[in-house]
Structure 1
Amino acid sequence: MKKKEVTIYDLAKELNFSPSTVSRALNNHKSIGKKTTKEIHKAAQRLGYRPNSIAASLRSNKSKTIGILIARINSPFMSTLISGIEDTARKANYNVLISQSNESYENEVNNAKALYDSRVGGVIVSLAMETVDTSHFKQFLDKNIPVVFVDRVPKEFNSYRVVIDNYAAGYRATKHLIDQGCTRIAHFAGSQHVNVYNMRKKGYIDALTENGIELDEKLIISLKTMSSTEGWEATEKLLGMSNPPDGIFSSNDSAAVSAIRCAKERGVKIPEELAIIGFNDDPVASIVEPSLSTISHPARRMGEISALRILEHSKENLGTSVSEITMLDTKVVVRNSSKRNP
């Protein structure tokens, strides 16, 4: 036989307090004395009372839960981002719900609806590679539920954004290869409707132009998902040219690591004949041989700030017209895959 759930009214009867006193004590309201609060919490634990967060969310139309909607959980960048969100949320007694789109627009739309139906108090989103239309997030704003876009963000959407300066990072990565003596620098570019890849490519092009290197469009290889397989195939294509590149700037580390492995298999010396730099500073960057130069990406800090935006919005009861961009800086992490000069 299923055991009956203990309610606030059961606690009130057991302790001879009013239900309202019990409720306030369980929520640590300062109008209730410390001794009474401690007594009620102790009794709640002894009797097996569980707060009904669903009922609370139905009353307020939102819960103390932050929804996270990202492309892939198994990405080192994303897992570190989630860690920053979760730690910040936990300190404020918020929970998190995590869903992944696997780079699919359709999955993203369905996951957004599921989070909305769960009455989350806010949602943090990094867009799928396929996503162009972001109208499925309007349902949150219509209910004054804050939306924070992080890393991959839409061009036009009235909300919070937490990003890095991808243009400056792309410029620095390319300039680093130029400083090492590279004159034919290839670029692994992601989907150009995605802000991060578009701005990294612009930084790459401007670094070449401003340093007197003519742009060769054949050296720009577009990758759909920036996977390791695509990185290998792109490297094979580049090394098969009659005039191959002497440098590669990859928009992520996965493709860059494949470039190192492919080049080594073909007997190309790294960095003497081919200098390579990636992006994100994933753990694999320091493990691969030679170690991969890359661009640092403050994933954890981006997660912390994203969660804080949700918490601040809810605490101050701000309106839906809030639009704020937080931009964090990056730096070049120089390792053996590109280091020609001391």
Structure 2
Amino acid sequence: MYKPATIKDIAAALNLSPSTVSRALRDGYEISAETKKTVVAYAQSVNYKSNPNALGLKNKRSYSIGIVVPELANSFFSQAIAGIESVAYEKGYHTIISQTHDSTERESINVNHLANRSVDGLLISMSSGTTDYDFLTRLNKNGLPIVFFDRIIDEIDTFKVTSDNQSGAFKATGALVGMDCRRIALLASAPQLSITNERLAGYKEALSHHHIPFSESLVRYCYKGGSDYQEVEDALKELLANTDKPDAIFIGSDSISICCIRAIKNLGLDTGGIKIAGFSNSDVVDLLQPSIIYVRQRAFEMGKIAVEMLLKLIESRYPITEFETRVLDTELYCP
């Protein structure tokens, strides 16, 4: 189990007594300013947090699991969390859930907060804004079990579970081609996300399969992953202002799909019969106007698999060195 840095750890690293470190952190008058500065700087570097329960948790499990997702209001993530909890509670574990709103800063703060609350492990779907994964790598190397789901990264060798995003994008784009669309635009999430690259690959593969040339001018990235409505609206207006405007739009994110429909309604945009396809796990997607072809992910099952993987790491008596990445298929729905 991951163990947060303690006063004894800081004392050993700085060759000081634990009492000196404790007084320095409490700004004790008997400690020199230079020593205080050294101790505080080191404590911050190892993410030390005062934890009154640390002694009680020493060498024991807390039976709590941290979950970090971009947005709780997103149907996909709420369904995945339901899957996580269905297994976790049955196994006697509690969950602590936090959301990042696709902010790198919030993600780092939330992850470190959960680690210092002595969770037994962490389930995380990456924020669209994060490109530096050192804070996760450090925690994992220090013993915190981490499992990635949906938005995964290559930088940490552990269990992961995601969707067959490339196949889903291929099917959705192909469905648009089947409706006689030839200038198919792509509204994608942040380019560093695994799901963005996989869905872009599926989009390109479908165009190539149907002998349609790929055009960079028809691609727009939403770096905040749909959490910023204005960003999506601006991208949509840019695409529709194109001289040779698209006859279809493929949307590579659940949140962006909903924002795109909102933008069309709010602006009273004349889409001219433009067809729309996208990823969506919304329970009301069939009621949206204009209607969209949508790819649904197996979110609940993904959550169950992710927590089962994490519990395997937490409860194993021996270090696990061989890991698996599960890829779940998707379903295409054409209203």
The 3-state SS of whatever aligns with 1:191 is coil
Q: TM-score, normalised by structure 2?
A: 0.77
Aligned to 2:304: 304
Q: Deviations over 1:178-212 (max 9, x none)?
A: 11111110000211111101110111112111211
CA contact (8 A) 2:102 2:225 kept: no
Aligned to 1:201: 200
Q: CA deviation at 1:231?
A: 3.0
Q: What amino acid is the match of 2:58?
A: R
Question: For structure 1, which segment, 118-127 or 247-256, has the greater mean C-alpha deviation from structure 2 after superposition?
Answer: 247-256
CA contact (8 A) 1:260 1:276 kept: no
CA contact (8 A) 1:188 1:223 kept: yes
Matches within 5 A, 1:260-279: 260=261, 262-263=263-264, 265-269=268-272, 273-279=273-279
CA distance in structure 2 between the aligned counterparts of 1:138 and 1:243, rounded to whole angstroms: 46
Distance 1:284 1:234, change over 3 A: farther
Aligned to 1:157: 156
Aligned-residue identity in percent = 29
Q: Mind listing any 5+ residue stretches in structure 1 that lack a counterpart? A: 1-53, 336-342
CA distance in structure 1 between the aligned counterparts of 2:299 and 2:110, rounded to whole angstroms: 22
Distance 1:260 1:225, change over 3 A: same
1:233 and 2:217 equivalent?
no
Q: CA deviation at 1:257?
A: 4.0
| Structure possessing the higher radius of gyration over alpha carbons | 1
1:256 and 2:257 equivalent?
yes
Q: Mind listing any 5+ residue stretches in structure 2 that lack a counterpart? A: 1-52
1:109 and 2:108 equivalent?
yes
Q: What amino acid is the match of 1:239?
A: L
CA distance in structure 1 between the aligned counterparts of 2:262 and 2:114, rounded to whole angstroms: 41
Q: What amino acid is the match of 2:270?
A: G
Q: What amino acid is the match of 1:85?
A: I
Aligned to 2:11: none
Aligned to 1:327: 327
CA distance in structure 2 between the aligned counterparts of 1:142 and 1:320, rounded to whole angstroms: 13
Q: CA deviation at 1:135?
A: 2.0
Distance 1:109 1:181, change over 3 A: same
Aligned to 2:126: 127
Q: CA deviation at 1:297?
A: 1.1
The 3-state SS of whatever aligns with 1:283 is coil
Q: Deviations over 1:40-77 (max 9, x none)?
A: xxxxxxxxxxxxxx579613254211111112222111
RMSD over aligned Cα, in angstroms? 2.1
CA distance in structure 1 between the aligned counterparts of 2:256 and 2:70, rounded to whole angstroms: 17
Distance 1:232 1:106, change over 3 A: closer
Question: Aligned pairs, how many?
Answer: 279
The 3-state SS of whatever aligns with 2:155 is coil
CA distance in structure 1 between the aligned counterparts of 2:135 and 2:100, rounded to whole angstroms: 14
1:212 and 2:211 equivalent?
yes
Q: What amino acid is the match of 2:308?
A: L
Question: For structure 1, which segment, 194-203 or 101-110, has the greater mean C-alpha deviation from structure 2 after superposition?
Answer: 101-110
Aligned to 1:60: 59
Aligned to 1:289: 289
Aligned to 2:145: 146
Distance 1:231 1:308, change over 3 A: same
Q: CA deviation at 1:143?
A: 4.5
Aligned to 1:100: 99
CA distance in structure 2 between the aligned counterparts of 1:192 and 1:207, rounded to whole angstroms: 19
Q: Deviations over 1:76-128 (max 9, x none)?
A: 11111111111210000101111222212222222222111111111101111
CA distance in structure 2 between the aligned counterparts of 1:120 and 1:100, rounded to whole angstroms: 16
Distance 1:253 1:110, change over 3 A: closer
Q: CA deviation at 1:244?
A: 1.1
CA contact (8 A) 1:146 1:320 kept: no
Distance 1:268 1:303, change over 3 A: same
Matches within 5 A, 1:163-174: 163-174=162-173
CA contact (8 A) 1:68 1:98 kept: yes
Greater RCO (CA < 8 Å, at least 6 residues apart): 2
Distance 1:319 1:80, change over 3 A: same
The 3-state SS of whatever aligns with 1:323 is coil
Q: What amino acid is the match of 1:324?
A: E
CA distance in structure 1 between the aligned counterparts of 2:142 and 2:237, rounded to whole angstroms: 51
Question: For structure 1, which segment, 162-171 or 55-64, has the greater mean C-alpha deviation from structure 2 after superposition?
Answer: 55-64
Question: For structure 1, which segment, 310-319 or 117-126, has the greater mean C-alpha deviation from structure 2 after superposition?
Answer: 310-319
CA distance in structure 2 between the aligned counterparts of 1:114 and 1:253, rounded to whole angstroms: 28
CA contact (8 A) 2:128 2:225 kept: no
